[in-house]
Chains A and B, each alone.
Chain A
């Protein structure tokens, strides 16, 4: 056993390029790696973000892979680290480790019809894949995105939602849980959107589901009822993490470590993990 230099827990640095409020609780950060290198992530991977003196937290990369040294995060203000991230202004330094996790496997999606089912900030990790797939739109068949929020004020990436709605080759359906004075669109939980689309070739459709824990089992039932294969129901799971590298034990689901074996699992895998959903 020879010890490697201790880089496993040592963060690299990035600089905040832009920081802007998205909602009452979400902030969008565009970061630039100080190394000048690209993050080199796959869609659906995450980074362990450090605010030195406060701590570290796992946060999904919300942008698709790029060659330039920037990447984007969306941070909900729910704890010490996320609160500190909300206070960072352009030019501030933060630490990060990663990218970690398996991410979405893009190759098996090629030639398939894609159905994204995103609940609230579930759109954040899903967006990295949506951006990547839209950049290679010709590789995929029908392209549907369901986006459901509790209230209109929780909607994210408003400009991008308009772009997706208007580009002509994406079927974007949004819904809000309960009627709201500022909302004239669909009302109801996200599963109420399923009857509004026609999944023509369920065997050639892949559903990508990202949302709060409660959402999964209901959306999975809809997908199975529509005839989508268990292997084609893909989801990204959230767990507590302290290390991101399979050591701290917090993210374990039965035999799996979400930070190494996930966060992306197919339903075919997750249905055998009793604690997964």
Chain B
């Protein structure tokens, strides 16, 4: 729609005006001892809290779209039980998402709109405005491989820091509504060249992490089922499910009923679940269809690079690297894939 420039000193008033209108969620410092900090998405009341230069966050912003505990409906027990549908949603701006997390929301949009559209997710998503910012390649070693070092779409507004100002790519009406809160000037050729320079630097910093073009991975994965790499790389798995929980595209859920202490009312709640937990595919009769860790790792990697990829035409891994960073056992799916590629190139099984 438009490319404009906002001086940096306008940011505090923009945040203040936005926060007066609706909920603003953005990267915040999470203190971790006296000298270090991690970052997480949280509600932003003033620009002081907003850490736009953040390296990455522990969790993606998915819990604002798919809450960890989400009430699907309220119920009243008794001889004549009653149910009342619930959708909790409110207008929210995600301020300062990195391209991998923007891509993660695009993946969730596909999954949740497909076949039986999920009314709760879509109601919430409809009210969300996405404002993106650039990443540093050092913090996202896998983003370029996936193609998410630079965001091409999926945002309403995108801010590129060019020193004393932000070049603002206004992509939608929602983005325009945000920019209408502050004074801007049209972007010049010099501004756009500055954006280009920022992105070029990001691309040049990124290292190749896989020995293959990502477009070929679905084919690689079709031949992966009998490989020994899954056993080799899943041996150390603690079955904690952390990789699922921090993944911006993982959405699998459990459903449970919670009864209030009065024992007559309650709610059906969906909670995050994880396919790397060992009972995820177990049925009541006792059978477990993915009893072994190697089957679970293969399943998870296949969802990212084969099943969903084939269905939607792009990987459902965003390259954010959170699964690698979070894994207690230091399991790296990209290492597993590199072993798989080597195995396929040599025709010799790896890891057995």
Which positions in A face B, CB cutoff 8 Å? Answer: 1-11, 13, 50, 52-57, 76, 78-79, 82, 93, 95, 212-213, 238-240, 242-243, 245-250, 252-255, 260, 274-275
Contact = CB atoms under 8 A, between A and B. Distances in A.
Interface stretch (B71-79, B201-209, B228-236): B71-79
A3 B251 contact: no
B72 A9 contact: yes
A5 B281 CA distance: 30
Interface in B283-315: 283-285, 287, 289-290, 295, 299, 302-303, 306-307, 310-311
A257 to B, nearest CB: 8
Contacts of B259: 53
B39 interface: no
A10 B72 CA distance: 8
A255 B87 contact: no
A78 B295 CA distance: 25
Q: Which 10 A-B pairs have the closest CB atoms?
A: A249-B252, A3-B123, A6-B85, A245-B116, A78-B284, A6-B119, A9-B72, A79-B284, A3-B122, A255-B307
A254 B309 CA distance: 12
Contacts of B253: 242-243, 247-249
Contacts of A243: 253, 255
The majority secondary structure among interface residues of chain B is mixed
Contacts of A82: 284
B116 A248 contact: no
| Interface band, chain B | 35 or more
20 contacts: A1-B109, A1-B126, A5-B119, A8-B119, A9-B268, A50-B268, A52-B77, A76-B284, A78-B284, A93-B80, A93-B81, A95-B81, A212-B287, A240-B282, A240-B283, A243-B253, A243-B255, A245-B115, A247-B111, A249-B251
A54 B118 CA distance: 23
Given A213-B287, A249-B273, A255-B307, A13 B281 contact: no
Nearest to A276: B289
B268 A238 contact: no
B73 A6 contact: yes
A245 B79 CA distance: 28
A76 B284 CA distance: 9
A56 B256 CA distance: 8
A6 B256 contact: no
A6 B79 CA distance: 24
A6 B87 contact: yes
Given A3-B119, A247-B112, A52 B257 contact: yes
Nearest to A260: B115
Contacts of A8: 116-119
B116 A239 contact: no
Contacts of A239: 281, 283, 289
B172 to A, nearest CB: 13
Interface of B: 72-73, 75, 77, 79-81, 83, 85-87, 109, 111-120, 122-123, 125-126, 225, 251-257, 259, 266, 268, 270, 273, 275, 280-285, 287, 289-290, 295, 299, 302-303, 306-307, 310-311
A35 to B, nearest CB: 14
A254 B302 contact: yes
A132 B113 CA distance: 35
Given A53-B75, A275-B295, A246 B81 contact: no
Nearest to B79: A93
Contacts of B80: 93
B87 A52 contact: no
A82 B302 CA distance: 33
B86 A6 contact: yes
Contact of A248 (B122, B255, B289, B290): B255
Given A1-B125, A10-B73, A247 B85 contact: no
B81 A13 contact: yes
Contact of B266 (A7, A53, A213): A53
B123 A55 contact: no
Contacts of B117: 1, 4, 8
A42 to B, nearest CB: 17
Given A6-B119, A212-B285, A53 B254 contact: no
Max chain A C-beta neighbours (<10 A), residue from B77, B251, B255, B302 = B255
A176 to B, nearest CB: 19
A55 B119 contact: no
Contact of A53 (B85, B113, B225, B257): B257
